[in-house]
Amino acid sequence: MRIPLVDLKTNYLSVQDEVEEKVGAILTSGSYILGENVEAFEQEVSQYIGARHSVAVNSGTDALHLALLSAGIKPGDEVITTPFTFAATVEAIVYVGAVPVFADVEKETFNLDVSRISDSLTEKTCAILPVHLFGHPARIDEIMDFAIINNLKVIEDCAQSFGAHFRSKYTGTFGDAGCFSFFPTKNLGCFGDGGLVTTNSYKIAEALRMYRNHGISKPYCHDVIGYNSRLDEIQAGILRVKLKMIDSYNLLRRNLACRYTQHLGELPMVQVPVELDEYGHVYNHYTIVSPSRDKIRNALASAGIASAIYYPLPLHLQKTFSYLGYREGDLPRAENLAKSVLSLPIYPELGIDKVDEICATIMACFCK
């Protein structure tokens, strides 16, 4: 595509010299697993996010899985979450033997609808797993109020929201744990898989450190059945370089999103992303909603412009989760969004001129 959805090569070239210097130093050191760069990265994220503890792991999926384990979620427990997200959110619940319970989403932000959570509450409910989808925080203050009243754990899925905030607090610092992904296409991305869990709980942090490293509490002493989920030194070193850029990356994304909204916000057949008062959106994706989604996507493709559908089938209707017993019509907002969402190119290096071209292509769809 002439305009890709994400341009990872250009992003790499912007940090190439510092990344290659960092990687070279790591290779020369001979220390590749759980070394000084992992520890330094954890400390730097804690300082940036404002969490007491950060524990780096192998992926965002592992972050969710190990966070649930460390928070004490066990087989048979119910965890309320959203059906409109990537499958890893719900896979992690299933990995610990718990039962995913879906609540519908908001039409405007696509995030978990707090007013629907109470409908899903049972005596087996032990946790809520909200997703800060596309970079807009969920209504985390209301979710926390509900969780406190009902004595529930909150595990935040922050995979798409590094640097997003509500008021003065970053996502990942509200609940019992916050789970981040550093997949290459994220706002803060490494050059492979990577993840991290933030928490203010010493107990959860210590459990995470054991679970990520084969259940080891001290050398060759295995206290629990653990996993091999260690972020390697090279990825940690790369992330340390890019962490210094995250505020500028997110500002560029916000500026591009503003330009999109200026152009597309007046189109009667297009719903542009919202940003609620006191919420800081970081636009991991810029996602519009339109009944003319397929027409727009075809026009973009004909012009050499990439787009994507996140997500074409909500999780409650996926074959792998059919055993939960949900049917079409159970969660109508998520189902309607799946039929009409379209994510447009957005990345720090995109440029205003490219956004103008993309918007002109979309607006032309409604002028024929």
Indicate if 35 and 180 belong to the same structural domain: yes
SS3 content of the chain, % helix, strand, coil (to 5): 40, 15, 40
Q: Calculate the average pLDDT of the chain.
A: 97
Indicate if 238 and 336 belong to the same structural domain: no
Q: Are 209 and 175 in contact (CB under 8 A)?
A: no
The 10s digit of each residue's pLDDT in 74-92 is: 999 999 999 999 999 999 9
The 10s digit of each residue's pLDDT in 113-146 is: 999 999 999 999 999 999 999 999 999 999 999 9
The 10s digit of each residue's pLDDT in 235-266 is: 999 999 999 999 999 999 999 999 999 999 99
Domain of residue 132, residue span: 8-103+111-243
User: Does the pLDDT value for residue 224 go beyond 70?
Assistant: yes
Indicate if 96 and 200 belong to the same structural domain: yes
Region 7-16: what's the mean pLDDT? 97
Indicate if 166 and 296 belong to the same structural domain: no
User: Does the pLDDT value for residue 111 go beyond 80?
Assistant: yes
Question: How many separate domains does the chain show?
Answer: 2
Indicate if 95 and 208 belong to the same structural domain: yes
Strand segments, DSSP code E, in 40-124 are 53-57, 78-81, 99-102
The 10s digit of each residue's pLDDT in 294-321 is: 999 999 999 999 999 999 999 999 999 9
CA gap 267, 265 in Å, rounded: 6
In a domain? residue 1: no
Indicate if 170 and 29 belong to the same structural domain: yes
In a domain? residue 3: no
Single out the residue in 243, 277, 312 at which a domain terminates: 243
Indicate if 189 and 216 belong to the same structural domain: yes
Confidence of residue 12 (pLDDT cuts 50, 70, 90): very high
Percentage of the chain exceeding pLDDT 90: 98
User: Does the pLDDT value for residue 275 go beyond 70?
Assistant: yes
Residues 6+ apart with CB under 8 A from 98: 68, 73, 74, 75, 76, 77, 78, 79, 126, 127
Indicate if 168 and 116 belong to the same structural domain: yes
User: Does the pLDDT value for residue 1 go beyond 90?
Assistant: no
User: Does the pLDDT value for residue 368 go beyond 70?
Assistant: no
In a domain? residue 234: yes
Single out the residue in 216, 243, 270 at which a domain terminates: 243
Region 103-111: what's the mean pLDDT? 97
User: Does the pLDDT value for residue 221 go beyond 80?
Assistant: yes
- The backbone torsions φ and ψ at residue 279, rounded to the nearest 5 degrees and listed phi first, read -110, 135
Residues 6+ apart with CB under 8 A from 338: 84, 309, 311, 312, 313, 314
Indicate if 125 and 168 belong to the same structural domain: yes
Indicate if 58 and 206 belong to the same structural domain: yes
Look up the CATH number of the domain holding residue 285: 3.90.1150.10
Which run of H or of E encompasses 26?
helix 8-29
pLDDT of residue 192: 97
Indicate if 212 and 115 belong to the same structural domain: yes
In a domain? residue 71: yes
